């Protein structure tokens, strides 16, 4: 557009205002041909805005929300700078910056790196944190002079990186100051946010900005610490670890009995059941040991006069088992006449059916079919 058209428009337009349709503009410079504003023009400053006049790099005046007539009476600082006399009515030159004073929310922050903390439970821990914060311009004059400068369209993108860095650095100081376990920090995120805001507001205020709110949304912990916390929770939920182990062992024995074609039935059968039974006995023995201490004394030996046998299962020795256990195994088909057994005093292993003590276990069972 040629200069004379711009000049004509400037002379006809006597309203200085800014309608903001963005959601991230902090400051906007009003565009006027050669920065000439008519004497007596109307300045409209809406709620959530303030207008700052700059003349030749110097702050002239600041206007709050409302409608203002631009005269020497309403621009005393600018009038003094220009040496105007009362009644001077020619256009004057000044840059007008509209500054948004509303809250800008949902700005994100996070620690640039882990904060090293001493934890009473886990020793030295490296923790991170992140969240959101909200700001607003509290001192438009300082904000224009120190931050915006000559930028005609200044948005949150122009300062957000700097503010994010300040928050991320300060929380690395605040978290250790609370002197609590990293687990307890999760319940103190509100206090962390308030401390951050109090710590940083003077620094933000030096830029003409108020830090309205800081939210700490999460505390990040190393994977190994989270795993340790999960294990602690599982153990606490179980309550009695030995009883839990016994329960799990009993369940495994039941599953093996119901799945004869699986691993237990195919190769381990009786051996798996005996081994798990022994494990269960050890666990329960530990739970009921002397003084109730875990891992107490081993199971007591059989009663005097009781007969017990070791049984050969898949080439492996299992037992010893008393007569009640052997009878149960014979009834279940796990102990057979030709199964090798041994007890104290025997010179060598022998078939179960050949021993008088065990022959009665097979009295109600038919012998093997000849030639089978």
**Is it the case that residue 351 has pLDDT exceeding 70?**
yes
pLDDT at residue number 202: 94
The β-bridge partners of 321 are 309
Whose structure tokens read 């946010």?
Answer: 193
- Give the residue ranges of DSSP H helices in 42-134: 76-82
320 prior amide bond cis, ω within 30: yes
**Is it the case that residue 344 has pLDDT exceeding 60?**
yes
Least confident range from 49-58, 94-103, 178-187: namely 178-187
Rounded to whole angstroms, the Cα distance separating 84 from 72 reads: 8
- Give the residue ranges of DSSP H helices in 118-181: 140-143, 160-177
The token duo for 327 is 């009878």
Pairwise pLDDT comparison (87 vs 343), residue with the higher score: 343
- Taking residues 98-115, report their average pLDDT: 91
Across all residues in the chain, what is the average pLDDT? 76
pLDDT at residue number 207: 95
CB contact set of 53 (below 8 Å; sequence gap of 6+):
59, 60, 61, 62, 63, 75, 78, 94, 95, 96, 97
Res. 252 pLDDT band, cuts 50 70 90:
low
Strand order in the sheet with 308-313: 316-322, 308-313, 340-342, 350-351
Quick one: which H or E segment has residue 109? strand 104-110
Are the beta carbons of 49 and 98 closer than 8 angstroms?
A: yes
How confident is the model over 281-295, as pLDDT tens digits? 554 454 444 444 444
Nearest alpha-carbon partner for 345 in 333, 334, 357: 357
Rounded to whole angstroms, the Cα distance separating 286 from 96 reads: 84
Strand order in the sheet with 42-45: 15-16, 42-45, 66-69
How confident is the model over 18-64, as pLDDT tens digits? 998 888 999 999 887 666 777 788 899 999 999 998 877 788 889 99
Least confident range from 109-123, 132-146, 317-331: namely 317-331
- Interior CA angle at 138 toward 134 and 139, to 5°? 145
Which three-class secondary structure state does DSSP give residue 67? strand
Q: Determine how β-strand 36-37 pairs with β-strand 92-93.
A: antiparallel
Pairwise pLDDT comparison (123 vs 299), residue with the higher score: 123
Least confident range from 86-90, 325-329, 335-339: namely 86-90
- Taking residues 216-233, report their average pLDDT: 77
Which three-class secondary structure state does DSSP give residue 350? strand
Rounded to whole angstroms, the Cα distance separating 156 from 68 reads: 28
**Is it the case that residue 109 has pLDDT exceeding 60?**
yes
pLDDT at residue number 264: 43
Whose structure tokens read 């017990």?
Answer: 308
Res. 179 pLDDT band, cuts 50 70 90:
confident
Torsion sign across C-alpha atoms 31, 33, 36, 40: negative
**Is it the case that residue 8 has pLDDT exceeding 50?**
no
Nearest alpha-carbon partner for 325 in 309, 342, 337, 343: 309
The token duo for 368 is 């093997």
Rounded to whole angstroms, the Cα distance separating 152 from 31 reads: 9
pLDDT at residue number 175: 87
């Amino acid at each position: 557009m040629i200069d004379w058209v711009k000049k004509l428009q400037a002379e006809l337009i006597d309203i200085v205002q800014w309608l903001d349709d963005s959601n991230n503009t902090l400051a906007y410079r009003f565009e006027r041909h050669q920065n000439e504003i008519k004497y007596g023009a109307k300045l409209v400053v809406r709620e959530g805005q303030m207008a700052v006049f700059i003349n030749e790099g110097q702050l002239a005046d600041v206007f709050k929300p409302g409608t203002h007539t631009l005269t020497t009476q309403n621009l005393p600082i600018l009038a003094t700078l220009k040496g105007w006399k009362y009644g001077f009515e020619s256009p004057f030159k000044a840059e007008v910056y509209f500054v948004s004073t509303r809250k800008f929310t949902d700005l994100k922050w996070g620690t640039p790196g882990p904060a090293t903390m001493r934890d009473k439970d886990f020793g030295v821990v490296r923790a991170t944190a992140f969240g959101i914060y909200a700001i607003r311009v509290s001192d438009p004059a300082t904000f224009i002079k120190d931050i915006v400068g000559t930028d005609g369209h200044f948005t949150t993108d122009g300062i957000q990186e700097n503010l994010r860095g300040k928050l991320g650095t300060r929380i690395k100081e605040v978290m250790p100051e609370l002197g609590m376990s990293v687990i307890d920090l999760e319940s103190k995120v509100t206090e962390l946010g308030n401390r951050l805001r109090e710590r940083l507001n003077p620094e933000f205020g030096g830029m003409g900005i108020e830090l309205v709110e800081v939210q700490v949304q999460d505390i990040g912990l190393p994977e190994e610490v989270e795993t340790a916390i999960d294990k602690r929770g599982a153990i606490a939920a179980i309550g009695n670890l030995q009883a839990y182990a016994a329960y799990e062992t009993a369940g495994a024995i039941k599953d093996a009995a119901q799945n004869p074609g699986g691993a237990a039935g195919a190769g381990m059968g009786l051996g798996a059941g005996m081994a798990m039974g022994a494990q269960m006995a050890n666990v329960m023995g530990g739970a009921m040991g002397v003084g109730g201490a875990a891992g107490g004394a081993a199971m007591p030996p059989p009663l005097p006069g009781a007969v017990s046998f070791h049984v050969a299962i898949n080439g492996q020795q299992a037992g010893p088992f008393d007569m009640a256990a052997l009878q149960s195994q014979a009834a279940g088909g796990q102990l057979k006449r030709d199964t090798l057994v041994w007890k104290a005093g025997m010179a060598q292993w022998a078939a179960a059916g050949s021993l008088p003590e065990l022959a009665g276990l097979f009295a109600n069972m038919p012998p093997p079919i000849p030639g089978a």
